[in-house]
Amino acid sequence: MPEGEQGMNVARIATFLAGFPESVSAMTLNRFCSSGLQAIWHVCTNILAGSLDVAIAGGTESMSMIPMGGNKIVPNLRLAEEYPDAYVSMGQTAENVAKRYEVTREEQDRFALLSHERALAAIERGDFRHQIVPLKTFKYDGRGNRVEFTFDTDEGPRPSTLEALSKLPPAFANPATGGTVTAGNSSQMSDGAAALLLMERKRAEELGCRPLAKLHGFVTVGVDPAVMGIGPALAIPKLMERVGKPLGVSLEDIDCCELNEAFASQAVYCIRELAKQGLDPKRVNPNGGAIALGHPLGATGAKLATQLVYWLKENKRRWGIVSMCVGGGMGAAGLFENLTL
């Protein structure tokens, strides 16, 4: 969220820190969890409109620096009275999804375990090596000494077992009331940043760049804020109707779907519903998801787009989707095509 250290138009600040010329302008936008994907679409539409030529779109989030709700949240009193679900915590919405759509604790824990197993396997194979820019930085050891190191591997994925996950207490509800959402089957609070270079294919060829992928379209939907996690289950069908259908592409044709795992409860539900419409569950998050790899809100959309583009390229597959639920009761989705085949 554009607050605190991420305020003051953080995108413009990034251009200065990156050493770009002063002539390079920048803006920051906010659609919570889908901000990174929204930024990509914003740039694409501006390129098509002729107002941009070559641009970078992405996102960043430092959840270790910016608390949930920002520095100070001031609820709208009228909204709180007339639409109290607008201020329901994300964790509570996950509990609501689990209860309303009958997603069991075991289903959530099994899904979380699979996310970690897939992410660890992907790291072991080196699948992320071309996606991550190594960062030289420092940390302090137990004695207070400054130690320099290179950060090049996501810290979230870790070995676990179903038994260990099952012992974790509910994080957002009283166990006596049957809470099932835990720290183990929820996405991690993470720091992260991601960016993509965007331009028309003709311009890429003029610059000697080979395009990796094309974003054919992007949609958003609104849903009940009390169960905001169901967003992808509505956004993806809308995407396929408005964007996929004219291209002759259906859910059966999707080779990879990067569906943000805000919580296992909502991811399990969305995959269950989308499978009824033709999406193969085995093609969702093949290298793990946010439960293992983290969910740096502003960066997630761009991060997932990067993961998808590289997965399609390396596996020689054509079609992919990036989708996520969005705080406040929304869903977002984009359809990508691999151009390296």
Tokens of 210: 């080979």
d(CA 189, CA 291): 10
DSSP 8-state symbol, 189: P
C-alpha 124, offset from chain centre: 22
- Residue 209 annotated among the catalytic residues of the structure: no
- Label the pairing between strands 319-326 and 256-259: parallel
d(CA 316, CA 26): 34
C-alpha 31, offset from chain centre: 12
Q: Within a 13 Å sphere around the CA of 200, how many CA atoms are in the beta-carbon half? A: 12
- Residue 270 annotated among the catalytic residues of the structure: no
C-beta separation of 199 from 188 below 8 A: no
- Residue 295 annotated among the catalytic residues of the structure: yes
The residue annotated as part of the active site, out of 33, 44, 257, 270, is 33
d(CA 292, CA 79): 35
Compute the CA torsion angle 207, 213, 216, 218 (nearest 10 deg): -110
C-beta separation of 119 from 154 below 8 A: yes
d(CA 180, CA 166): 10
d(CA 94, CA 179): 10
The conformational region for residue 80 under phi > 0 = left, psi -120 to 50 = alpha, else beta, is alpha
The conformational region for residue 288 under phi > 0 = left, psi -120 to 50 = alpha, else beta, is left
Catalytic positions: 33, 295, 325
